[in-house]
Chains A and B, each alone.
Chain A
Amino acid sequence: MTHSLHRRGDVDSLKKDFLVLACTAKGYNDDVFAPLGAEFVRICARHKPVNGGDMKTGNLLYVDPEEIAQKVSSSTIIEFTFDNKQNVIDTIRELKERDLGISIVISGMIDEVNDIVEKAGLPKVHTREYSLGTHGKTKLLPEWEVLEFTTMCGHAMVASELVKKMIVESRKGRATPREAAVVMGKCCSCGNFNISRAVELLEKNAPLWTADYPVY
């Protein structure tokens, strides 16, 4: 339900983190969705997404966008991740002009999304989902520095232990930040994992507790 909603991070980091997705409405437009979804993929791919994909086909780290487009089906949710607001504005503007007639959703910081919608020439947001945070036995949660990575995949495909390992690999110079980010990003088949944001997080000073973290 909320694959792209509950991302954690500081304001400056989240300002460079947007998801644009298209979704079929089952029983309403699934019979005509596939070619429209394919066009959505091609439009998004033109505006420099940092990741993206379809959970069934895979993400841009290992699949060509045209292959994703050609495999869009009547039950596909297609998602693209951006690190640049202007690229999102350009994407939404083109989607508006093309008028595909399918549902388009943006996840991002509220003020940023409002600004994107206005600059793309759209009316105000139709429906909005708010995240009220995490509750219950919160002491079970991993460290904040880990959540910043793991919450970039709403299906929880990026394991906390993998994040810790890749922080160490990057810190010790055994992988570049980009290589470490790609290892994590490949686990998120939908392509929601923002590679450039992950690189920035890895380039920050790694938390001290990772210094002694065991690495397999």
Chain B
Amino acid sequence: MLVDETKCIGCGRCIPFCPVQARSFGRAATTGRTVVVIDRDRCAECGVCERAGVCPVDAIHQDVLEWPRQVRSILSNPLVEFKGTGIPGRGTEEIKTNEVTGRVRIGRVGVGIEVGRPGVSTRWTEVDKICRAVAKLGIEFCADNPITHFMVDKKAGILDPAVVNEVSLSAIVEFEMAEEQLPELFRILREEVDGEINTVYTFEIAARLRPDGSTTVLKKIQDAGYEMLKVSKNNLGLGRPKFREEVAP
């Protein structure tokens, strides 16, 4: 994202709209006038400032992003569709379509670790740390997730060195695994991730429920001492199944 210094009148209306506080007052390089400047290293290319439409002189515009900077907009601007997944947004369909796809089945769990959320943002060095840590579980990262796409070693969870210095509003590490692996996942996150990253992550576990609405996953989460948020996300099972469920729930 760029500010045209020749147009900007330095009103600052765009400054509070930036989710990563990359905008501030500065001096125009050519005239020395007070204008809004963008910290390009911090800017996540989310496009909020432009879409807000608050600039009275139309001085904000999106420049053409070259590799690897373009990954910032893929992960930060929800209007940018990542061709690898074919859906806008940062992650996959995950459990939103689980009754159709059978992505997460009984005995398995879907795991999402959204790095930089809520509202802190992340440099991908931190994403790389988390991917490497959880890869020790022998899991398979979701193939249709943008972060997985940018790995050079999907078994070891190693991101392409070309992208690790990039920044995004968040980045979701997604994988499925056996429910029995949950205690080890919790240990890895607590012992090898929580104190080692320079950002936050928000963490979710998805489970296929039994017909009575129960799941053994819940007890494993509670036994590990996690305090769950009050809100949940629920697939109602109204889509037409396109798979055969091998294990009766």
Contact = CB atoms under 8 A, between A and B. Distances in A.
Contacts of A7: 229, 231
Nearest to A96: B238
B198 to A, nearest CB: 6
Contacts of B78: 55, 155, 157, 189-190
B125 interface: no
A159 B203 contact: no
Interface of A: 1-8, 11, 14, 17, 21, 23-26, 28-29, 55-56, 75, 77, 92, 95-96, 99-110, 113-114, 117, 122-138, 140-142, 147, 150-151, 154-162, 164-165, 186-187, 189-190, 216
B242 interface: yes
A140 B198 CA distance: 9
A28 B101 contact: yes
A132 B232 CA distance: 10
Contacts, number: 303
A132 B203 contact: yes
A2 B100 contact: no
Contacts of B193: 135-136
Given A29-B239, A130-B228, A142-B119, 7 more contacts: A103-B235, A103-B238, A126-B98, A129-B112, A130-B207, A136-B193, A216-B13
A156 B218 contact: no
A70 to B, nearest CB: 18
Nearest to B224: A132
A4 B233 contact: yes
A132 B226 contact: yes
Contact of A105 (B88, B114, B226, B234): B234
B51 A187 contact: yes
Contacts of A129: 94-95, 110, 112, 204-206, 232-234
Interface residues of B, number: 87
A157 B48 contact: yes
B236 interface: yes
**Interface of chain B, helix or strand or loop or mixed?**
loop
A31 B218 CA distance: 36
Contacts of A157: 19, 46, 48, 78
The residue in A1, A3, A156, A164 that gathers the most chain B C-beta atoms within 10 A of its C-beta is: A1
A2 B206 CA distance: 11
B100 A28 contact: yes
Contacts of B239: 25, 29, 101-104
Contacts of B233: 2, 4-5, 105-107, 128-129
Contacts of A114: 213
A125 B209 contact: yes
Contacts of A154: 117
Interface stretch (B26-34, B55-63, B65-73, B79-87): B79-87
Interface string B163-206: 00000011010100000000000000100011001111111111
A105 B194 CA distance: 31
B221 interface: yes
Interface string B217-249: 110010000111111111111111010000000
